[in-house]
Every structure is written in structure tokens, then in C-alpha cells.
Amino acid sequence: MEQKIYLDNAATTKVDDEVVKAMIPFFNEEYGNPSSLHEMGIKAQRAVETARQTIARSIGASQEEIIFTSGATESDNLAVKGYAKRHRTDKKNKIITTKIEHDAVLKTCNQLAQEGFEIVYLNVDEEGFIDFEQLEKELDENTLLVSIIHGNNEIGVIQDIRKIGKLCKEHNVAFHTDATQSYCKIPLDVNDIHVDMLTMNAHKLHGPKGIGALYIKSGIKINPLYGGGAHESRLRPGTHNVPGIVGFAKAVEIQQKDMEEKAIKVKKLRDYLIKRLCNEVDECYLNGSQDLSLDKRLPNNANFRFSYIEGESLLFRLSDFGIMASTGSACSSASLKPSHVLLALGLPHEKAHGSLRLTLSKYTTKEEIDYTVEKIKKVVEELREISPLTKR
Amino acid sequence: MALDYTEKVLDLFRNPKNVGEIENPSVEVKEGSPTCGDVIQMQLKINDKHQIEDVKFKSFGCASNIATASMATEMIKGKHIDEAEKITWKDIANELGGLPSVKVHCSVLAVDAIKQAIDKYKIQKGLRKITKDKIDKDFIIDKLRHVIDPSVGTDIIRLKEVLYVGVEKKADKADVLIELAHPEEREFESNIEHEIKEKLEFIPGIGNIKVEFKDHTPNPKSPEGI
């Protein structure tokens, strides 16, 4: 099978050709260190600062509020640990997060729990929306920080961060959101939403891997994670990844152009995929928000579950047909537990094992979706044929 | 995490052998739990000379589960049951050119299913005599090693969830009482109870089976307690 249909864009994306082109000179021509004082250093520094401006503008922030990191995991760690450790007092040591966070926040909070922080993991409803009553109840004078994912990487559900931000402000609690999946897919403006820190990265939006950013509202103080030089306002030491930073900004620039139109186009194709699979395959269900609108579900995300079959087998068979997808089955991990996100929705384990995530991009075509639907129908039928759980 | 399976594993996963069902199997077992993501159904057709004439399996499981079941069934086909039950996970893993270590749980199920099927057959045919005298605490514990707590994916003996096993000998049968600690997630209690009954019910000599879940407070007074 020569043809490759890439439907795993929540994992990573194809780097846009224009992005690659923008990056190349910074490997072998303009390879100076932005910290150097000579001409090549100045050129590199200018490239970094121009990129910073592009990224700041994309969310309505100012240049000084953007810190470059190695990616979303580091941004999440820097935000949560950096803020928590800086502002902790004997009394104030509570962090509120959710049961559906990406591991970058979830495991970071678990680490902080080991250090004596009190962590509250908010429940979500069966579609993945957080429990606001619980959030309001938990926001008290001991609360230091709230960290809630914006667009979920597995089930695509989008939290109402405007409402969360408002509540945090009322209670004078800092608010961080991981916007890795939503950034540059749906509009985000930090003047519009009360948010103190926001995680972004490049490789989910056709930029390079290994580069991300953290927005830190001016006036918010955090501790750095590592010791080192004075780079990035002393918050993130280490020589700048100049080609990565340039590529990141280029990707943002491309994504920001007609962002809404692009989102609607991808959404239309995604809605078509959902409609076909749910209509044409027995016992196929959509996980996450059933409301498919742009403010409730990431436009490129679809996550299904199929009764009686196991996700890894499904994935491998699809891979044989050139279709690249993802699953929340335990078999995709080292433990026997399926995805914590699917379990948080209240799904029984055996149903979570049969999940399939398909995430589209601007490159996805209708032909690819049609081909994928046909192959999924075939593979699901075959696997059910050999499953001892299928009703006879 | 991308798993690097051998070509042999992938090949058997794509074109599994002995998949399906036998019309009138001599014996049938189901091993595993849907909650852990792996269930295997194994059916054997055994002739008068106790040779395995046919074997078929069905799988709700991952690629390694399907591939090992495929390989294992090929290896025991035509063999005498005494020989077939000696098959080990290692034999199969070797034939497959190795398996990723995280996949031991899924791949060991096929071997377990074969062993359990032959054991069940032997007991049913009276080749392995289980009189009520043989049914004691150790016998029951041995069977409980095949019951998995889905909250953690490990068997209930290794998890030390079995608090007490009582065997009460009646005229022709022995009644069994099993007390368990609540599993990590209580929703799995009915699941565990069902599995325990499936592992014990068919054994002649076993009468009533009672399963109870308790808070974990070991009872020092019960001599047969664990």
C-alpha cells in the first residue's frame, strides 16, 4: 500500500512546505547564537524577536509575555510547577485541575501532590465538560492555581475557559490553560479571556517538533525550572532553537490566515465522517461532545467507540490499509488501563478499549474520508467476526 | 508507544490460523476479561485417542493476543492432550521471534486457555479425578489464580484479595465459600464473582459456591483463612 492517509493530526502534523523553507537558512547560513554580540548573533536575535511578535499577536498578547520552550510538555511544567512553587504558602497550597488533562499537567500535578500540594481533580460529565458547581465549591482561600485544558487531545471537547477565567478572577486565583490542541484552530484572545498562563506549541499546527511557548501575563511571577543563563527573561535558560522558533512563527502566520474558514472546512469534513460512521456501522458511538459546534468540539477531532472489538487490533488493520489513526485502548500503553480521559466520561473499560481517534488536518480530502469509512466498515466487521463478545 | 512486533507476529495477526468456532466442541473455555481488554475463547475437538483433532479460537484482543493464539493452536493441533498441555508461553514466543515485554499479559492468555481447556476436558471425562476429597483450600486457590481483578489486571491471589477460602464437605459434594477484599474499583465485583463461578462450577464434586466481598480486615480466628 503506497497511499498514506494521515488521520492522527492530534499526535503531530505534517510540516508545511513553506515552514520548512523558512527554517532552512537558520541551520546552515544564519546559524548564529542570538546571545552573541556580532552581526550573525544580531541577525539570529532579530529572527527570534520577530517570531515572538507573530506569536504574541496571534493571541493578543505583547511580546514580553511570550516565553519560548521545547514544547507543550515543558510549557505545562513551567506554568504549573513554576507558579505553584513561587507562590506556595503554608495555607495556600491547593491546585485545581481536571480528570481529563493531558499527562503533561496530570503527572505534573501528581508530582506536586508528592511534595505536599493538595490537588483537586474536577469531574467531567459524560460528554467531557467540567463540573462548574464543583469548581465553584473548590475555589477557596487555599487555592493557588487552576489548570484546565482548553481543547482536549483525545475527545476534542472544548471547555468554556471564559467562564473558568471569570470565576478564577473573582476568587483571585491564577488560571493556566493548556491550549496545545486549540491554538490556531479556534480564535483565542487573552484580552477577551481572563487567563494568566497559556500553553502553545508548533507541531500540532504544521510547524516543527521541539518548540513551544508559554504565555505569561505581565505581572505574573513564576520560578524557572532549570538553572542556566539569562535567556527568556531568566525563565527558560538554554540557547534558542532558532530554526524551530522561525518555523513556529511561520506555521502560526499560515494558520492565522483565514483561520475561521479553514476551521469550517475541516469541521465539515469531520462532521461528514461522523455522520457516515455512526449511520453505517452498528454500535458505533461518538465519544465526547455530541454538540459539534466550533466552541464545543475541536473542528478536526472525532473519537469513536465500537462495541466488541479492541483498539490496537483495529489500528493495526487500518495501518495495513495505509490509514494512520490512534486509540485509547490499554494495549496502546504499558498498563492494562484504558485512557483516563475515556474512563472519566464514565465509560466502562471494555468500551474504552474499543476506541478509535481520527484527527483531520487542512490536507485531508473527502476521498480520503470515503476510503477510510469503507475500510473501517470492513475491518470492524472482520474483527467482530472473530470476537467472542459479539452477540450471536 | 509504537510497538515493534516481529514480521511473524504481524503476519499471523493479519492472517490468523484456526479462527472461528467448532460445531460440537469437546470442550470450550473463555479466559481473560473484557475489562482488561483481552478475552479469548478456545474450543477443542478431541478424539477417542485423546488427540486434538481440531482447535478454534476467537479473540477480543490486541495483535499479540491474536498472533499467539494463532501460533499456539497450530502447535497443539494433532497432538495428544498430555503433550499439548505442556506447551509454554516461552515456546510460542520463541516461535514468533520474540514479543514485547509489555505484551506478556495479552499473549499468555492463549496458553492459559489451552491449559484450562484440557484440564476441564480431563476433569469432565474423569481422566483427572476430582473427588470431593481433593477439593480443599489449595485446590480452590489454584483455580483462583486465573481470576483477574480488572481494576489492576492482575489475578486476585497475587493481589492478596482473597481473604478466606472455606470448604465444607457434604455427602457427595463440597460447598465453597470465598471471601474477598473489595477490589480497587467496586464496580468490578460482579465481574470477579462471575469469573470465579465460571472457573469452579463445572468441576464435579463442587456444590454451592458463595462469593462475598468484605472490607479488608483479616480474621485471625479462621484456621483456613489466608
Residue A316 has its nearest CB partner, among B41, B63, B152, at B63
What's the CA gap between A375 and A325, in Å, rounded? 12
**How much is the average pLDDT of A33-50?**
96
pLDDT of residue B226: 44
Residue range B201-215, pLDDT digits in tens: 888 888 899 999 988
Handedness of CA A365, A369, A371, A372 (dihedral sign): positive
With bands split at pLDDT 50, 70 and 90, how would you rate the model's confidence at B169? confident
pLDDT of residue A148: 98
The phi, psi pair for B56, rounded to 5°, reads -140, 145
pLDDT at B224 > cutoff 50: no
pLDDT of residue A330: 63
The one-letter amino acid at A180:
T
The more confident residue out of A109 and B108 is A109
Look up the CATH number of domain B7-124: 3.90.1010.10
pLDDT of residue A273: 98
Domain-wise residue ranges, chain B = 7-124, 137-214
What's the CA gap between A133 and A125, in Å, rounded? 12
- Quote the minimal CA–CA distance from B153 to chain A in Å: 6
Interface of A with B in 88-117 (CB under 8 A): none
- Residue B158 contacts A where some CB pair is shorter than 8 Å: no
Contact A310 B35 (CB under 8 A): no
pLDDT at A388 > cutoff 70: yes
What's the CA gap between A20 and A246, in Å, rounded? 10
pLDDT of residue B147: 86
**How much is the average pLDDT of A348-352?**
82
pLDDT at A272 > cutoff 50: yes
pLDDT of residue A136: 97
**How much is the average pLDDT of A235-252?**
97
Contact B41 A388 (CB under 8 A): yes
DSSP assignment string, A87-110: H--SS--EEEEETT--HHHHHHHH
With bands split at pLDDT 50, 70 and 90, how would you rate the model's confidence at B217? low
Handedness of CA B45, B51, B54, B58 (dihedral sign): positive
In chain A, the percentage of residues whose pLDDT exceeds 70 is: 97
**How much is the average pLDDT of A199-213?**
98
pLDDT of residue A329: 75
Contact A388 B30 (CB under 8 A): yes
Q: C-alpha A359: how far from its chain's center?
A: 12
Q: Does domain B137-214 have CATH number 3.30.300.130?
A: yes
Query: 10 Å Cβ neighbour count for A283?
Result: 15
Among chain A residues, the shortest Cα distance to B14 is held by A317
pLDDT of residue B222: 43
pLDDT at B34 > cutoff 70: yes
Contact B58 A388 (CB under 8 A): yes
In chain A, the percentage of residues whose pLDDT exceeds 90 is: 90
Q: Residues with Cβ < 8 Å from B15, sequence gap 6 or more?
A: none
Residue range A135-177, pLDDT digits in tens: 999 999 999 999 999 999 999 999 999 999 999 999 999 999 9
- Residue A381 contacts B where some CB pair is shorter than 8 Å: no
User: Which chain A residues are within 8 Å of B35, Cβ to Cβ?
Assistant: 348-350
- Residue B9 contacts A where some CB pair is shorter than 8 Å: no
**Beta carbons of A207 and A17 less than 8 angstroms apart:** no
Q: Which of these is catalytic: B36, B42, B52, B211?
A: B36
Chains A, B: CB contacts within 8 A come to: 74
Q: Which of B173, B183, B169 is nearest to B211 (CA)?
A: B183
Which set of grid coordinates corresponds to residue A191? 484580552
With bands split at pLDDT 50, 70 and 90, how would you rate the model's confidence at B146? confident
Domain-wise residue ranges, chain A = 17-256, 258-385
Residue B106 has its nearest CB partner, among A331, A349, A388, at A331
What's the CA gap between B60 and B72, in Å, rounded? 16
User: Which chain A residues are within 8 Å of B16, Cβ to Cβ?
Assistant: 386
**How much is the average pLDDT of A3-10?**
95
Residue range B38-75, pLDDT digits in tens: 889 999 999 999 999 999 999 988 888 899 999 999 99
**Beta carbons of A104 and A181 less than 8 angstroms apart:** no
User: Which chain A residues are within 8 Å of B1, Cβ to Cβ?
Assistant: 332-334
Among chain A residues, the shortest Cα distance to B31 is held by A388
Predicted TM-score of the model (pTM): 0.86
**How much is the average pLDDT of A256-280?**
97
> Which CATH number, 3.90.1150.10, 3.40.50.720, 3.40.120.10, 3.80.30.20, labels domain A258-385?
3.90.1150.10
B36 is catalytic: yes
B7-124 and B137-214 share one fold: no
**How much is the average pLDDT of B76-87?**
94
**How much is the average pLDDT of B24-30?**
93
Look up the CATH number of domain A17-256: 3.40.640.10
